[in-house]
Amino acid sequence: MLTIYGRKSSANVQKVHWICLEGNLKFKTINIGGKYGGHTSLEFKQINPNSTIPVLKDNDFIIYESNSIIKYISDKYNILKSNNQKDIALNNQWIDWASLVFGLQCATYTAHNMLLPVEQRNPTIASETKKKIITSFEILDNQLNKYNFILNDELGLADIPIGCWLHRCVILDLKFSEFKSLDRWYRKLEENEAFHIAVISAPLPPN
């Protein structure tokens, strides 16, 4: 039995929901973090000392860090799995980029537009971050000029984290329709049932 700890509005949690749904895996969700709290409790720290969500429990196996979790699920359950060494490396490259560049920008923008108390929001940080997000849109658009999906013409592991963060941009009204290939890709993801359930239909942060 798979248990996913974390509120459904977290982009990092949505990655895990999406890959499970993509592979028709059954899972249980425990709401932690955001308005639910619980992530700093001693009990939760026993499964993740960092107090972050998501955490996956697969019977007696426990793992945290969303990117490691989706790679584990992909490998173990053979979902969007590649056996080509270069494809695996490039998927990893984009998954890292999705967290360390694009995701970081989106999370910062979310904080300064939605999550922080109004008096703590910094408009300068928000507008500087918006510029960086536009640069990320350009990078993605150039990549998606070449293929229908991030790595090639099929949905792959790297599409998951990037798709989750791009939907966050939609929520935050960061428009990308001028980036035609990126926009086409997002419209394609909208047709994906797992993306719909895990990401589009998810509640807004901090719910």
Nearer residue to ligand GSH within complex by CB, 12 or 129: 12
Binding site for ligand GSH (CB under 6 A): 7, 10-12, 33-34, 39, 52-54, 65-67, 99
Min separation Cβ 12 and ligand GSH, Å: 4
Q: Can you read off the two tokens belonging to residue 92?
A: 């990893």
Q: Which residues contact 12 (CB under 8 A, 6 or more apart)?
A: 6, 52, 53, 54, 66, 103, 164
Nearer residue to ligand GSH within complex by CB, 31 or 141: 31
Min separation Cβ 184 and ligand GSH, Å: 27
Nearer residue to ligand GSH within complex by CB, 156 or 205: 205
Cis upstream peptide for 54 (omega within 30°) = yes
Within the chain, strands assigned E span 2-5, 27-30, 55-58, 61-64
Min separation Cβ 199 and ligand GSH, Å: 13
Residue nearest to ligand GSH (CB): 33
Min separation Cβ 72 and ligand GSH, Å: 12
The answer to whether the CB of 31 falls within 8 A of the CB of 8 is yes
The answer to whether the CB of 46 falls within 8 A of the CB of 104 is no
Main-chain dihedrals φ then ψ at residue 62, nearest 5 degrees: -120, 135
Nearer residue to ligand GSH within complex by CB, 144 or 171: 171
Min separation Cβ 114 and ligand GSH, Å: 13
